[in-house]
Each structure stands twice: as structure tokens, then as C-alpha cells.
Structure 1
Amino acid sequence: MQKNDFIELVIEDISTEGAGIGKYDGMTFFIKDAIIGDRILAKIIKLKKTYGYARLMEIKEASPYRVEPRCIYARSCGGCQIQEMDYQSQLEFKQRKVRGNLIRLGGFKESEIDQLMEPIVGMDYPFAYRNKAQFPVGVNAKGEIVTGFYAGRTHTIIANTNCALGAAVNEKILQNVLTYMKETNTSAYDEKTGKGLVRHILIRYGFDSKEIMVCLIINGRKLPSADVLVGKLCTINGMKSISINRNQEKTNVILGNETTTIWGEPTITDTLYLRNTEDFSRLEEHTSYQISPQSFYQVNPVQTEKLYSLALAYAGLTGKETVWDLYCGIGTISLFLARHAKQVYGVEIIPQAIEDARKNARLNHISNTVFFVGKAEEVLPAFYEKEKTASDVNADMCHPDVIVVDPPRKGCDEKCLATMLKMQPEKIVYVSCDSATLARDLKVLCAGGYEVKRVRAVDQFGMTVHVESVVLMQYCGK
């Protein structure tokens, strides 16, 4: 075998990144856009010692799990990796992904994980669920201004204003922004030269409030003829906030540090409801949040309600507990917990997020929360070392009843994990967006005296390979 050879094989599995996995002549191949059960013709594009990569050329016999994708750009766009797989098969894949990582990377026994894992929480309708989208702006081969999403593993824009995963109102907003740019000769940013003005269009939509935010990220200080843009966007029902964010750095980071509201309010408001974790029906208890362009707020509000309700149920609060919420963002989980705890302490690295968390506490008339700015791996150890030797030591803060963590994809820092073990809470509730780093961190916590009691995956990102998980750990002693 060599590069550019054609091979015929059957797809037997899917990688954690969503590529089909098949074997040919004893070698494992990864083929994007192929799903389990497909018999395909593929072209070898790269060979390693024991595995290779190939490009799907023809589907000889379609898998029984293959469906027609809703979006015509599903194969070329980098946003959806598994839209061509039926939804039930997607859920099964994600359950296996979490299970496999816990066994392979966490060192758990298969029989143990099979007892601990509960059924994955799927979506009733796995489309049009995103309340936030960031659309890059550029120029196509004809010199026309376009917006859409990047093709997989590239920065080539697939022109598309009607994403199947986004809110329906996005299309009208994008069309209005493009029309404004053409009418006012406002340029699109060019990544290669670093010139041009409009880099991205950020849209947030409140599924409960129906409020809309639009933020243009620009490579400059001022947006020309801003009144024209405002006039077009204000015709859309629910528009509440229009702003510009300045990012003049030559970087892949989307948002800069400076945002100016040019019309309306600097935030929109949305509400999340507590759910019954038996059937996930909505309950009356709810929490509202003010959301800015920079705020971290889960993109799938329906599933977020289920995820946070599970985290609260796992914490088992009675109203007497002290809780730390690490990587707390704008206080989404903290405020869910605060209604059922004696005191909640939140930690987040982004100052604006902590400011938003404090505002959100006041918005909901919640007074039993305290929020700290800083890295969890720095704030928690420094606080613990200081307080444990203080004459007026706060024992509840040093030895909380529950610690909740919801870290970024890289997982928890080693120092943070070490301090959690020193604090020795009765329970740790770990919310994770990456089951690989989750498995790694659970291994550390288990070595420190904790046992995993419950695990449940939640599908926050239908049509993609990503999956959230929530885990309950209990201290059992070394």
C-alpha cells in the first residue's frame, strides 16, 4: 500500500473525533464522513506505521444508520461531524465514547463503569438548538462578501447563512449585516494580510426571553455608517443589544478586550428552569441571567437545564451545605446551587464573568454567594493555605461539603485537584465537556480517596462528536 492507492473497506467503528474506522490488509484507517456499517471506496492520503488516513470517494453500500443530512454543507463544513448518522446512533456513539475513555484513560473496570453509567440524556429535537453563533466574515473567489462557517481544519469560509443548528432568526440577521456592508462599502477582514474591517458576527438569542444580541467584531476603532446597520437590525423582533468589539490583533482569538454598545442594552437576559431528573419535565423554580458578548453561557439551553438539574441532584443539597463552584463563569451553576445550599463560593478567571455573576445574583435576589476572580488552580490553593492557619479560620470554607467543577476542555489543573483533596469535601460533582480529561482527573481523585458513584452523559451538541458528562464522587477514605 502507498499514498493515493484506492482501497475498499467496511467501517466498523467511529473515532472520538467522528471519523469512520475500518481495516484494510491488517491496517487501521480513519475516513472522515464514513459511518459504522458503510462499505466504501477510499483513497489513501497519509500512511503511518500501523494506521493511515483516507478520503471517502464512494459509498458502495450505505450503512443502515446513514441518513440524508439536513444541511447541504454537512460534509464540507467543520461544524457538524456526524449529521449523516441517525440520531439514536449518535447517542449510542457518545455513550460509548464516555464509557471508553473512563475505561481506557481512567483505569476503571468495564463491569464497574457499566454499573455506574446511566442512560445518556438525548434531545427531543437535535436541530436549531444553539443560542450563540460566531460567523467569520470574508470574501469569496468572486470578490463577494460572505459569511458562514470554516471548512473542517481550514479557515476557508463555507458561505451559509442558514445553519441547521442555529436559531432561525440568525439568517435574517446575517443577511441584514451583509446588505449593510455592501451598501456602505464596509470591508471584510483578510486573515492573510491583516487588513479589512469586519472579522466576525456574533449572535446570541435568548430561547426563553426571545431577546437578541448582535456584536460585530472589527479590526479597527469605529464602524462606518453604524446608524445604517442599527436601522436594519432594529426591524427584527426581539433585538435588544447591538455592539462592536474591537480586535486589532493578528490572531485566531475571536473577541478582543473592548466592547462598545452602539444601540440598546449591553446585555440580554435569559432564564433556565430546574427540571425533574426523573422525566426532565420543567419545574417552576428558575434562574435568570444577564449575558454579555463575552459571557460563557451554555449554547444549548434546553439540555443545559437537564445538565444543571442533574448536577444539583447529584450534590444532594439540604440547605445546610457550604459549596465551592470552580470555573463558575457568570454563575450559571452557582445560582442553581445557591437556592438549595447555605453558602456558595464561585471562582472564575475572567473579571467580566465574575462581575456578571454578582449582577446575576442580585437579579435573582440571591444573597448567599461570594465570587472570586482568578484561576481556580491559584485562588483555591492560596485561599486554603491562608485560611487553614488563620486565627479566625472559616472551617466551612476550608472543608466544604461539596465542590462542583465545570472546567474547560483541558480539565482541572493539578494544583486545583491537589487542593480539592486537601479540602476533602464529602462530595465532588464534576461537569465535563471532554470525557478524556474527565477520565484523567477522576483517576487522580480516586487515588486520593474518592469513589465514583454516578455517571451520566448529556448530549449538548447534537450532530457533533462532543458530549457533556456529569459525575458524582464521594469521599470514602484512603
Structure 2
Amino acid sequence: MSEVTIESKEKCPDAPHETEQECTVEKIVEKSLDETAKDENSTDATNDEFNYLKRSEFTSEIYKIEVRNLGYFGIGEFKKLLKSKLNLNVTKIKSPLRKEFAFVCFRSEEDQQRAIETLNGYKWKGKVLQAAAAKASADPLQKRRNENAQREEKESQPKRQRTSADAICPYAAFPYEEQLQKKTSEMEELLKKFTNKLRHTNQAAKKQLNEFKFNGVKASPQINGYRNKNEFTVGKNSSGDIVVGFRLGSYADGSVEVSEIQDLPHIPDSAKWAASSFQQFVRNSNFLPFNPEDNSGHIRQLMVRTSAHTGEIMLVAGVYSSNMNETELAALKQNLKEYYDTCTDEAKGFKCTSLYYQDVKHREAGQTISPIEHISGSTHNTDTIHNLAFKISPLAFFQINTQGAEVLYDKAIELAAPQPHSTVLDICCGTGTIALAFAKHCKQVLGVEIIPEAIKDAEFNAAANSIENCKFFAGNADDYIQSMVREVVYGNAPGAPLDLIAVVDPPRAGLHNRSIAAIRAATAIKRLVYISCNPVHAQRNWIELGRPESKQYKGDPFFPKTAIAVDMFPHTTHTELVILFERATQPDGEEENKETTNAETIKDTTPEEKGNAADIEANKS
């Protein structure tokens, strides 16, 4: 049976409209057919908001059902019900937050009907489920075009199209000091809302929240040209010219227009050269740019990684291969190799040092990343933070503002205040940048990351920098947190002081609630440093950390102590926020009993022994 895809928000906001964050028709909140197509029979095919359903890749929109009366269920539990217990051939589950209904998609009418018959009237968690066929969503691009056409009939002047600066760098028009003031006010307002909500969630937090401090926004050492990673879209501008740049809006907003990036202040000259050279390649190629309206064309995107330290330029060309045969695909790869073997800017010293191909098309069920293939040059870039050298693979996470990362990690270390006997758990460790930065300040660092390639980079980086007190594990953080804590607790010498600090730097959507529950249950963790590239999304995690103890969240809550922001993204609206959380203290005697109980409930397994089980669970998720 194929794996189920559960739609969710995806690490840091590299750009508001990067290809990996673009919306497709299947990601739009459902609205009924009656609301969006009142007179379908009189609509021309080119203006039909449902014309996309004729393409084979959108069968899940055709064979979709709505399940109601769910209660506030856990999406993981609902998935297990459908897949494991009822054996339904589900391809996708789409569930609006805080709603008592979900949309479930299938690949055939037979599977759809079997699901309706099985689920309608089924009793689950004290509820009687209701299931019925659901109408497909309208194509948001065509819908917006129809709306614009109607509006322009009433207005003499159409709405001005945004520029790339408007879409990507809305703060670039302000002096940098004013940008910092705006971001300081925004963070103060965000933290005020968070603390007010936590006060209502946990009455015991009031005293600690009165002492909570926000220490402002620290400036980035580099304001212009700081981005070491960019993902550009290949498309057309308003004049119909092929462009490699940024989308001016998402598909859901009714926009597929792409604008050049040469005037954007946060893009380095090396990345601008990469975009310009690739744009020339596409314009001269027999292969067309990808068109998201009808899934025609081939060349879809370009990821560029640059290193100011070494001058390296890595290019990853993203290609939609569904409408190509093997001969055509081989020819395209060969054309890329031959082009970049000789394409250089001798005056500025720009040259592609690493070239990859990435197969970017509709992902199979259970697939999380698009596969890559090395074409020529080196296999990675190298960059430095805190005088430590880091190997960076194409898909590995690395802070996009290298100089800003030094300030960010300095502040994280300052808030965590590690001692020579401290152990740091680096959750979502990536290529080990945080772990290696902490290493010289503590006894040891244990890191976990779900991407195996990133762990290989982390181990390589530790060895290359002669750091021996770091240990890394590839797997789901949910499965490893308890076993890492056990390794520290039982490895600590009798009578020796124990100081366990957790540092989390999760994807923009935050940690899964199972990870929060594991941190809460691990009572040996007394301090937690949460680094967030999207504080709006992270608030959900912060509230979960501070909830009163319950069946779901065992262990005393964590309350915020100090926060500080770092402007990792000058000229944009984004800000990185670091918060120190401390576990609530308990009366004497209670804490010791909890430590003993917690230690007894941790299975007698090491992180290595949990490897196979963790991999299995990660694949199920």
C-alpha cells in the first residue's frame, strides 16, 4: 500500500515565493463547486476554473471525499485509522486546523466509493463519522484571472503589478536603522500576544512571565548580498520573456509572473551571475521553461549555493521530467555540462564549481524530497562560521546569512550558558553548525537530524575541525530524544553534577507535538533554547512547552526567561528569534521522585539500538 501524504507547511524563509513554497491547486482550502462555478456551461474552456481536472496528475482532486464529525482528532491517529485499520488506499489527507472535518483523496472512483461506504456511519472515538463525495477546488490562477477581468471591466486603470523588490524585499526602501526599529516593534507585539496567551493557558506562568525579558533585535554584520542560498523560478515576465528570478506571487494568488533579481540588494553578485547565465542557457535551449498552468515545458527552477569564503558556486537545475523521454533528458544534462564547462565571468572570477540535476515533478506518495544527480565539479561547497569549516551538500540546511549566523550562535550560547560539565542536545542539528559552535563550551553535544545526508556532513565537519566531543544520530527526533537523555543520565558518574541543555532549530513549521512531549517528559532537561526562523508558527510550540502537566504533556512545563532577535534577513520582513526556556521548579523532594520515575520508564536502549525502529517509525509518519 502506498504511503499517505499529509499536507503541511514546510526550514527558513529563503524567499517568500521560492519554488519549494509555491502553492499548487491541490493545496488550496476546499470551496464548493456551486460557489466557484455558477454557470459552468456558459464558460469558455480557456476560462474554465475546473479545466485542470482533465490532466491526469490531479485525480486526487476528482476522487475526493469529505469526512465530518471527527472531533479535534490527531492527524496521525486519523491516518492510522484510514490506512492501518480500515486498509483504505488513501493518497492524501487535507485537514484545516481546528476543524472537525477533513478531506481525503484517492486515485480511483472505486477507492473513493469504498471509503464512503466504510466511513459513513463508522464509530470512532465516540463520534459517528459522516462521509460523502466532495467537490473539486477551483484553479486559483484561473479564478483570479476571471475576477481581475470582471474588475477591470469596472475600473479604468488595472491594478499595478508588484516588482520583485515589492514582493521579496519590502523593507529595502527604509534605512537599515529604521528596519531594525520596525522589526523590534513587531517582535515586541508578537511576544506580547504569546505571553498573554500563555497566561491564560497556565495560571502558574504569571509570576515567571512578569520577569520575562526581550533584549531587542541585533543587527546583521552584513546587510547587502548576504544570501548564500537562493532558489530561483524559471518562467516568463509580463512581456513574455524567459526569466530566471522570483515569482511575484503564488499560484494561489493568481500569479505565475517571474521577475528578474538583478536589482535586489540581498542577493550576492555571484548568485546574480548564476541566475543570468542560466537564463541565457534556457533562452538558447530547445527545452522550454515549465508552465504551471498546464504542466507543459521542462526547465523549472535553479537553486544556487555560494560561498563568500571560497568563492564556490553550486548550481542545482530543477527539471520537470514527466513529459520527457530518456534520450531528451540525457541530452539536457549533457547540454548543461557542456555549457557550464566554459561559461565564466573572467572579470569577476565567477564560475560554476559544482553542477547538479534535480528531478522536480509531482512527488510520489511518501516522497519528501526531489532526487538529485551530480553532473560535474565538486560535490559540495565549504563555508566558515566561528572559524570552523563546514561542508555543505546540495540539500543540507545551512543558515543563509553566514555572518549573521555567527551573531545568532553567539546569542544562543550566551542564553544557554553551558558549563564545562554540561551536555547539549542539538535537536534538528542539520550539518552540525550549532553543535560544533557549542562544542568548546561544554562537555559533549549529541545531535539528531532526520536527513541522513546531513548527518554525514555533520560527522565530516566534526572530524575536519578536530572536534571529538560531538556525536550525531540520523533519525526522527521524536524517537531519539528520550534515548539521548538516557545515554547522558546513565553515563554520568555518580555524584557528578548533571546539566542537560536542549537546543532546537526546527523547520519553519516548528517541532511536531510528539517532540515537545518527549522534551517535556525528559525531566533531566532543565533549559531549552528555541531558535525560530518563523516566530509566528513557533508560538504553537511555545504554548505546548508551557501548558500545565497532562496526560499528553508529562513533566513540568517550560516558561520563557529571555528572548533576543537577530536580523538574519535584512530588507525583508523576516526575523530570527531566540528564546531561553527554563523548566518550572518544584518543591523539594518532588523533582527527585520524577527523575527516578522518568529514568525507569526510559527503555534500556541506546540511540544506536533505536536506529532501526526509528527509521521504521519515520517512514510511517
TM class by shorter-chain length? 0.7 to 0.9
| 1:334 correspondence with 2:435 | yes
Measured in 1, the distance between the counterparts of 2:454 and 2:335 equals 31
Could you tell me how far 1:260 is from its partner in structure 2? 2.1
Q: In structure 1, the residue corresponding to 2:468 is in which secondary structure?
A: coil
* Match 1:156 to one of 256, 281, 284: 256
* Match 1:74 to one of 165, 180, 205: 165
Q: In structure 1, the residue corresponding to 2:412 is in which secondary structure?
A: helix
Q: How do 1:230-379 residues align onto structure 2 when only pairs under 5 Å count?
A: 230-235=340-345, 236-237=349-350, 239-249=352-362, 256-273=369-386, 286-379=387-480
Measured in 2, the distance between the counterparts of 1:433 and 1:383 equals 25
Aligned CA distance change for structure 1 residues 311 and 210 (closer, same or farther; 3 Å): same
Aligned partner of 2:223 in structure 1 is 126
- What letter is aligned with 2:503? V
Measured in 2, the distance between the counterparts of 1:422 and 1:462 equals 38
Measured in 2, the distance between the counterparts of 1:218 and 1:427 equals 45
Q: Deviations over 1:320-374 (max 9, x none)?
A: 2111000111111011112222211111111211121111112212122221222
Could you tell me how far 1:476 is from its partner in structure 2? 4.3
Measured in 1, the distance between the counterparts of 2:584 and 2:209 equals 16
Aligned CA distance change for structure 1 residues 151 and 357 (closer, same or farther; 3 Å): same
- What letter is aligned with 1:422? A
- 139-148 vs 109-118, which moves further: 109-118
Measured in 2, the distance between the counterparts of 1:152 and 1:431 equals 28
Could you tell me how far 1:56 is from its partner in structure 2? 12
Q: In structure 1, the residue corresponding to 2:173 is in which secondary structure?
A: coil
Aligned partner of 1:104 in structure 2 is 193
- 82-91 vs 358-367, which moves further: 82-91
Q: In structure 2, the residue corresponding to 1:408 is in which secondary structure?
A: coil
Q: Root-mean-square deviation (CA), in Å?
A: 3.4
Q: In structure 1, the residue corresponding to 2:542 is in which secondary structure?
A: helix
Q: In structure 1, the residue corresponding to 2:268 is in which secondary structure?
A: coil
- What letter is aligned with 2:335? S
| 1:430 correspondence with 2:430 | no
Aligned CA distance change for structure 1 residues 83 and 204 (closer, same or farther; 3 Å): same
TM-score (norm 2): 0.58
CA contact (8 A) 1:188 1:199 kept: yes
CA contact (8 A) 1:328 1:347 kept: yes
Q: In structure 1, the residue corresponding to 2:192 is in which secondary structure?
A: helix
- What letter is aligned with 1:244? Y
Greater share of residues in strand: 1
Q: How many residues align?
A: 394
- What letter is aligned with 2:372? T
Measured in 1, the distance between the counterparts of 2:441 and 2:388 equals 13
- What letter is aligned with 1:90? Q
TM-score (norm 1): 0.74
Measured in 2, the distance between the counterparts of 1:379 and 1:438 equals 21
Could you tell me how far 1:207 is from its partner in structure 2? 2.1
- What letter is aligned with 1:100? E
CA contact (8 A) 2:423 2:445 kept: yes
Could you tell me how far 1:195 is from its partner in structure 2? 2.8
CA contact (8 A) 2:244 2:278 kept: no
Flag the structure with more relative contact order, 1 or 2, with Cα contacts below 8 A and sequence separation at least 6: 2
Q: In structure 1, the residue corresponding to 2:353 is in which secondary structure?
A: strand
Larger Cα Rg: Structure 1 or Structure 2?
A: 2
- What letter is aligned with 1:156? V
Measured in 2, the distance between the counterparts of 1:206 and 1:114 equals 41
Aligned CA distance change for structure 1 residues 57 and 219 (closer, same or farther; 3 Å): closer
CA contact (8 A) 1:191 1:250 kept: no
Measured in 2, the distance between the counterparts of 1:439 and 1:188 equals 39
Aligned partner of 1:39 in structure 2 is none
Measured in 2, the distance between the counterparts of 1:342 and 1:215 equals 39
| 1:459 correspondence with 2:567 | yes
Greater share of residues in helix: 2
Aligned partner of 1:226 in structure 2 is 336
